[in-house]
A and B are shown apart, each in its own frame.
Chain A
Amino acid sequence: DSGVTQTPKHLITATGQRVTLRCSPRSGDLSVYWYQQSLDQGLQFLIQYYNGEERAKGNILERFSAQQFPDLHSELNLSSLELGDSALYFCASSVEGQGSGGNTIYFGEGSWLTVV
């Protein structure tokens, strides 16, 4: 158990709909990351928040957005869903906001999203 908690574990929804994925980081971690894992694209970094502020942005679509709340939990909002958005979405957390040898990133078990 990494200490990173994600809900829901599985989600099935229709095209055009909107969903919210939730993440609670490890106790004491200030950084939260979102990654998407799909068969064709592999593991892709979406976005990072550090202590409530956006720190880095990767290959995140405009239809997707995220935020980190004062209690440090984070939500990833996916809207106007398409079949190609079906994937495993990982949340991860770390203590630090910038890379260093000690900045290990811990992953949750992921949220499986199926768009039908």
Chain B
Amino acid sequence: GDSVTQMEGPVTLSEEAFLTINCTYTATGYPSLFWYVQYPGEGLQLLLKATKADDKGSNKGFEATYRKETTSFHLEKGSVQVSDSAVYFCALMVSGYSTLTFGKGTMLLVSP
């Protein structure tokens, strides 16, 4: 079946540090890949997405590249802010199906 594996958190960084959150996937078909973010007390927000191999999704300084050869979609940001503290979810959607399969989420804590 389809699955998403994320690095376990929490990830604790100082402001302006470089961020990487690893995400790998297993899919029965050809997936689109997503990163969602959940800020404290809020719902899930779409952060970025990529729909085919080698696509790079980007938003708010975050980016992730769809790597088919390594089945990965790692999230990166060059300089994190305290306001980036949240839980980040990697997810996939297989073409022809409409449901998202999520990873377990990675909590990011950024200190001043």
Q: A42-B105, A101-B51, A101-B52 are in contact. Are A110 and B98 (CB under 8 A)?
A: no
Q: Is the CB of A31 within 8 A of B98?
A: yes
Give per-residue flags for A78-116: 1 if the beta carbon is below 8 A from chain B beta carbons, else 0: 000000000000101010111111111111111000000
Q: Is the CB of A94 within 8 A of B43?
A: no
Distance (Å) between the CB of B38 and the closest chain A CB? 9
- Is residue A24 within 8 Å, beta carbon to beta carbon, of the partner chain? no
Q: A99-B98, A100-B95, A101-B52 are in contact. Are A106 and B89 (CB under 8 A)?
A: no
Nearest to A46 among chain B residues (CB) is B99
Q: Is the CB of A98 within 8 A of B52?
A: no
Nearest to A109 among chain B residues (CB) is B43
Q: Is the CB of A99 within 8 A of B32?
A: yes
Give per-residue flags for A11-48: 1 if the beta carbon is below 8 A from chain B beta carbons, else 0: 00000000000000000000101000000001101001
Q: Is the CB of A101 within 8 A of B96?
A: no
- Is residue B94 within 8 Å, beta carbon to beta carbon, of the partner chain? yes
- Is residue B42 within 8 Å, beta carbon to beta carbon, of the partner chain? yes
Q: A43-B89, A101-B32, A101-B51 are in contact. Are A48 and B45 (CB under 8 A)?
A: no
Give per-residue flags for B32-67: 1 if the beta carbon is below 8 A from chain A beta carbons, else 0: 100010000011111001011000000000000000
Q: A101-B32, A101-B51 are in contact. Are A58 and B99 (CB under 8 A)?
A: yes
Interface size band for A: 20 to 34
Q: A99-B93, A107-B36 are in contact. Are A48 and B43 (CB under 8 A)?
A: no
Q: Is the CB of A55 within 8 A of B32?
A: no
Q: Is the CB of B43 within 8 A of A90?
A: yes
Q: Is the CB of A56 within 8 A of B99?
A: yes
Sorted from nearest, which 7 A-B pairs have the closest CB atoms? A101-B51, A109-B43, A107-B44, A43-B102, A99-B93, A42-B104, A99-B97
